[in-house]
RNA sequence: CGGGGUGUAGCGCAGUUUGGUAGCGCGCUUGCUUCGGGAGCAAGAGGCCGGGAGUUCAAGUCUCCCCACUCCGACCA
């Protein structure tokens, strides 16, 4: 059994101070570094490589489903932003404005995109004229700016990286299907590639995207019991089309308004990974997005043949995995701790005694279990360990969510279960009235996260007012 | 945006009460010895004390104003 003692004294324990633990990991695992502008951070190579892996997998999926990548400009003229009333009301409080070009004051100020619906709409108005022009299935990988008041690495920064998909369809049915399809893409990605269980659901009226008919989201539960929205997908109906005057001629030779969607995930997913899988020894990365999947640590590397063997194993394994040999002159123990901090899923130790015996030591990050394996069929042994890590972290994350999911039928029950067991997901019935939604938040501290697709009839009365319930809501304290 | 806390070497901190030559640990550099869970010895390098105004013969230390980080709320991916 692996020694479970905490090796890295530099990281604040998550039990002691979860928030400090989180920022410690962001910095010590070399994911981010602050800059002199509040809320604007450097995503360092190791952190960016995680994002590149997320991009690679999702981008391939988007394209497989027929989407094309485009790139919109980053400036939006004020008049354009204001065309859709709900949209501008939602975003105006947090946009950054450009007022000057060089020394010249601009005729009209430009906002730095907080999201690009308006730009896509302006563009669609130019290029969509006939039913033959539809659908357009677009996506872009860019950064956006939202002038947040309080900021945290990955979870809430003033500039962040994301992808935003924007599609436009002839019919509402098609657009609704697209919205649902992309929510499923996100959910599958989180569960299959990030080993992060999510709840799919619809946002309540008060919580939906500014300008949307309906907003869908996937909600994940972090290790500390707080909820994190991991991705969203919006159905716009023809509201934007009407506001931006986008029309097409149908087969029946009639002018029609098309229907739109948008959907996105952000670098916040990296924060979700940290808080879902990390432990007191540092980051624990899902193998599919880990920049390094296997780190080879040569032991007594000055001795004849050790480094050569390490390089040979790397070359052999590189056909199937992302592999690194750490041949720096740090001690082996230092390297063990370093790559645990960085969350590398599998460590391979190779020393003179191993070489003699045609074997090596494999260590899985999430449980620190050591296994001695033969150098024959090594790629198979490593693949097995990788899948053990996936299975292990999935079960651990799922167990945390199950343990922290509570069914409640009264307000008092919500309060007492949260006080007793700590933050988590609360399942409780709701009448559909916004006043009750607000009151639950006010009295118990948990807000509505979503109305899960998977419903359960916990009771027939609203947890707040006692009137007939319409649906079960997932409540939680969110990041 | 409201309420607290913190800014001194790359990191973690002491020094501020009572103004008087800027320190410690880790890390870093060089060399030698080490190497199976953050190695040892030796010699080095590294700072306009977050920024700007004041007060003073003299400011890391006192006063005022900014900025950033951080925690707790409200708002948000």
pLDDT for position A17: 87
Q: Which nucleotide is nearest to A10 (CA to C1')?
A: B12
Architecture of domain A294-388: 3-Layer(aba) Sandwich (3.40)
Pick the CATH number of A405-476 from 3.40.50.920, 3.30.110.30, 2.40.30.10, 1.20.1250.20: 3.30.110.30
Which residues have a Cβ under 8 Å from the Cβ of A333 and sit 6 or more positions away?
Answer: none
Q: What is the pLDDT of residues A206-230, one digit of tens each?
A: 999 999 999 999 999 999 999 999 9
pLDDT for position A186: 98
Give the CA A71 to C1' B64 distance in Å. 48
Strand B nucleotides within 7 Å of a protein CB: 1-2, 34-39, 67-77
Provide the token pair at A378: 């090594």
The domains of chain A are located at 18-277, 294-388, 405-476
The answer to whether the A294-388 and A405-476 domains have the same CATH topology is: no
Q: Which CATH superfamily is domain A18-277 in?
A: Bira Bifunctional Protein; Domain 2 (3.30.930.10)
Give the CA A150 to C1' B4 distance in Å. 15
Could you tell me which residue, A11 or A42, shows the higher pLDDT?
A42
Q: Report the share of chain A in percent with pLDDT over 90.
A: 91
Return the minimum-mean-pLDDT range out of A36-50, A118-132, A171-185, A345-359: A36-50
pTM over the 0.90 mark: yes
Give the residue with minimal CA–C1' separation from B70: A20
Quote the strand ranges of A257-394, DSSP E.
259-266, 294-298, 323-325, 346-350, 359-364, 370-374
Q: Would the CA dihedral through A249, A251, A254, A258 be positive or negative?
A: negative
ipTM summary value: 0.90
CA distances (Å), A282 to each of A30, A138, A328, A361, in order? Answer: 11, 37, 21, 21
């Amino acid at each position: 059994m692996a020694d479970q003692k905490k090796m890295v004294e530099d990281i604040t324990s998550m039990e002691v101070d979860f928030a400090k633990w989180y920022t410690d990991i962001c910095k010590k695992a070399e994911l981010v570094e602050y800059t002199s502008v509040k809320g604007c951070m450097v995503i360092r190579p190791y952190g960016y490589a995680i994002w590149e892996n997320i991009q690679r997998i999702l981008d391939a999926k988007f394209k497989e489903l027929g989407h094309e990548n485009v790139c919109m400009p980053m400036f939006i003229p004020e008049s354009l932003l204001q065309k859709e009333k709900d949209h501008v009301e939602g975003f105006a409080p947090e946009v950054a404005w450009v007022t000057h070009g060089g020394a010249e004051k601009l005729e009209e100020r430009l906002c730095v995109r907080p999201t690009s619906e308006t730009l896509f709409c302006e563009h669609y108005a130019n290029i969509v004229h006939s039913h033959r022009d539809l659908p357009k299935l677009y996506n872009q990988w860019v950064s956006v700016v939202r002038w947040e008041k309080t900021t945290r690495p990955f979870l809430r920064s003033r500039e962040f990286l994301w992808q935003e998909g924007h599609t436009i369809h002839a019919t509402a049915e098609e657009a609704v299907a697209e919205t649902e399809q992309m929510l499923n893409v996100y959910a599958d990605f989180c569960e299959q590639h990030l080993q992060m269980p999510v709840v799919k659901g619809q946002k309540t009226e008060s919580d939906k995207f500014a300008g949307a008919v309906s907003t869908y989201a996937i909600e994940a539960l972090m290790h500390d019991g707080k909820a994190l929205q991991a991705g969203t997908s919006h159905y716009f109906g023809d509201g934007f089309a009407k506001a931006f005057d986008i029309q097409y001629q149908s087969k029946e030779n009639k002018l029609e308004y098309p229907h739109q969607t948008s959907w996105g995930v952000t670098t916040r997913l990296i924060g979700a990974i940290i808080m879902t899988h990390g432990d007191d020894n540092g980051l624990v990365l899902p193998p599919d997005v880990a920049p390094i999947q296997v780190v080879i640590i040569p032991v007594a590397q000055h001795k004849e043949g050790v480094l050569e063997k390490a390089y040979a194993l790397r070359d052999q394994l590189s056909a199937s995995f992302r592999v690194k040999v750490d041949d720096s002159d740090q001690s082996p123990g230092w390297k063990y701790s370093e790559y645990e901090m960085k969350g590398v899923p599998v460590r391979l130790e190779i020393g003179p005694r191993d070489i003699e015996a045609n074997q090596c030591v494999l260590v899985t990050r999430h449980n620190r279990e050591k296994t001695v394996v033969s150098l024959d069929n090594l790629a198979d042994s490593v693949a097995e360990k990788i899948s053990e890590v996936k299975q292990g972290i999935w079960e651990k994350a799922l167990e945390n969510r199950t343990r922290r999911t509570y069914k409640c039928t009264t307000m008092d029950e919500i309060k007492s279960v949260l006080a007793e067991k700590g933050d988590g997901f609360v399942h409780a019935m709701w009448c559909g009235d916004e006043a009750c939604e607000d009151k639950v938040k006010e009295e118990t501290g948990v807000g509505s996260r979503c109305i899960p697709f998977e419903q359960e009839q916990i009771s027939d009365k609203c947890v707040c007012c006692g009137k007939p319930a319409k649906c079960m809501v997932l409540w939680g304290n969110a990041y």
